[in-house]
Amino acid sequence: MRRPRPAPRPAKPAGPPVELTIQAVGGEGDGVANGPVFVPFSLPGERVLASGSGERRDFVEVLEASPQRVTPPCPHFFVCGGCALQHWEHPAYLDWKVERLRTTLARQHLEAEFVPAYAAGPETRRRVALHARKGSRDAARLGYKVRKSWDLVDISVCPISDPGIQAAIPAMKRLAAPLFEHPKSAPTLHVTLTDTGLDIDISGVEEKSGGLSADGRMQLAEQAAAADFARVTLNGEVAYMARQPQVRLGQARVALPAGAFLQATPGAEAAMADFVLSQAAGASRIADLYCGVGTFTFRLAEIAPVYATDFAPAAIQALTSASATAPGLKGVAAEARDLVRRPVLAEELKKTDVAVFDPPRAGAAEQTAELARSAVSRVIGVSCNPATFARDARVLVDAGFRLERVMPVDQFLWSPHIELVGVFSR
């Protein structure tokens, strides 16, 4: 006989707001008081009033402000969950990010020279994901999720985004209006600003009922044409295309597959590529692992022949097509390959002296093990996740490599997120 579930205990009353003194900023960008107690929108040294109970409290007001507090530039900031740190002056905010990176590496007993960080400025993001919810007949609600909620902030501006994306917000709201034929549809517009216009890949449209109807697709195409978008796809399937979305990577002009990965800001891409190139100088043969559409491949191929591989066949096809017409390359051989199930073996890297890897957030554990066994003399790791980078770096260091230098990369402005490029040699 199944026992009845016990009745839920009533929540403890939160009580009146309490005064807290903030000691530091935690990993998610919240201020931390003794306890620990976490309070959003607060800074070290501040006295704040916070409500609620438990470790996570709600910000009420500042009683004594830090001299580092600034006015957030976005009208949606205190509600929108997209940014966490617009209230912190930039030098202190960037120092905090770099120190977090240093601490993450230190947990794996890793030390290195830190070169000056690259920091993206406002209005530089060329790639954003905007959630859509049903609005009026002619325009959806569009924006980011409310902080710690499934609700939506219907945005009018977005100071992190390129002006070309911000200007298109009203048109994208009209584009999303036909997507709600099924009540379970919760579309997300994955927007990329390319050299030929906006490329928008839409996910989250309910497909069990047959997907978007012919009438819905027609309305979608009409709105895309009216806004002069370059391309609109539904889960990678073309719904409208006026021009092939393209970007320039080094000397190559690459036709982007739908949903292709690009670095979030062009400036960060250029800074990382310049640093990678400077550290790969003098190479005779290079492996570019997790190469994507060729962010580093084409620039590296100006130095030496490159073997490029990635798990996405469409990315490899785009890279191969672009390399055929790019001038001044020493040679590019590309292969679609799952580097988790089938990493490039140490034996395959016999003639390679420099390897570059830029994996997803999960890191490159399997491929790192092969690099550690190989005779490669220099490894350059690009990472969007310092924790998995540190794990993989430990493997290389234990195999005789030395982590020489690190470049911190802040391209997700006003978020707690920090990226890096690390250089190993032996």
290 known ligand binder:
yes
- CA angle (236 as vertex; 176, 137 as ends), nearest 5: 10
310 known ligand binder:
yes
Q: Are 223 and 215 in contact (CB under 8 A)?
A: no
- Tokens (6 digits) for 392: 């993989």
411 known ligand binder:
no
CA–CA distance, 107 with 216 (Å, rounded to integer): 52
Sequence-distant (6+) residues with CB within 8 A of 206 are 182, 184, 185
Grouping H, G, I as helix, E, B as strand and the rest as coil, residue 164 is: helix
CA–CA distance, 142 with 140 (Å, rounded to integer): 6
228 known ligand binder:
no
Alpha-carbon separation of residue 361 from 57, 94, 167, 213, 419 (angstroms): 29, 21, 31, 36, 10
CA–CA distance, 277 with 36 (Å, rounded to integer): 44
Q: Could you confirm whether 384 is annotated as catalytic?
A: yes
CA–CA distance, 4 with 337 (Å, rounded to integer): 52
Determine which helix (DSSP H) or strand (DSSP E) holds 37, and give its type and residue range: strand 37-39
Pick the closest to residue 391 from 12, 69, 107, 60 (CA basis).
107
First to last CA, the chain: 66
Residue for token pair 């802040």: 410
CA–CA distance, 206 with 278 (Å, rounded to integer): 47
80, 83, 291, 384: which is the annotated catalytic residue? 384
Indicate the annotated binding residues.
Answer: 263, 290, 310, 358
Which residues are marked as active site?
384
